[in-house]
């Protein structure tokens, strides 16, 4: 199982993207967190913005389609996109995720 993250400027954008990827079977679960305070440098200047973090749990075979969907619909010019492999996943949770991901169309 993999966990992917991105951030969006509004809760509405994050909720919409979360609902899309789950409905399409690209992610077994999508969680919207925030607002969070993001500090970064953009075009040479320090920035601080409030954003909403979208956390996505997905199976290995779904990563390419999930990434294409998220990045293809993301409103940012340079969206955050991080993906990590979960070192340990509960057997029941992994089974649930697998059955959800295979029952929905791409």
Domain for residue 49, yes or no?
yes
In total, how many domains does the chain have? 1
Domain for residue 42, yes or no?
yes
Domain for residue 79, yes or no?
yes
CA dihedral 1, 94, 4, 70 (to 10 degrees): 110
Supply the range of the domain harboring residue 69.
2-87
Helices (H), 24-76: 63-73
CA atoms within 13 A on the CB side of 41: 3
Q: What is the pLDDT of residue 69?
A: 98
Q: What is the pLDDT of residue 102?
A: 55
Domain for residue 97, yes or no?
no
Which of helix, strand or coil describes residue 1? coil
Task: Identify the CA nearest to 76 among candidates 30, 38, 34.
Answer: 38
Q: What is the pLDDT of residue 101?
A: 62
CA gyration radius for the chain? 14
- CATH number of the CATH domain containing 67: 3.30.70.120
pLDDT tens-place values along the chain, 106 residues long: 999 999 999 999 999 999 999 999 999 999 999 999 999 999 999 999 999 999 999 999 999 999 999 999 999 999 999 999 999 989 998 898 888 765 444 4
Q: What is the pLDDT of residue 55?
A: 98
Domain for residue 41, yes or no?
yes
Q: What is the pLDDT of residue 105?
A: 47
Domain for residue 96, yes or no?
no
Q: What is the pLDDT of residue 104?
A: 47
């Amino acid at each position: 199982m993999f966990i992917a993250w991105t951030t969006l400027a509004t809760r509405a954008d994050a909720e919409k993207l979360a609902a899309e990827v789950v409905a399409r079977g690209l992610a077994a679960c999508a969680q919207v967190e925030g607002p969070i305070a993001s500090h970064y440098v953009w075009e040479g200047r320090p920035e601080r913005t409030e954003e909403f973090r979208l956390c996505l749990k997905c199976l290995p075979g779904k990563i390419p389609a999930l990434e294409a969907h998220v990045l293809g619909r993301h409103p940012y010019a340079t969206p955050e996109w991080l993906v990590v492999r979960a070192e340990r996943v509960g057997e029941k949770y992994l089974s649930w995720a697998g059955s959800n991901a295979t029952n929905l169309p791409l």
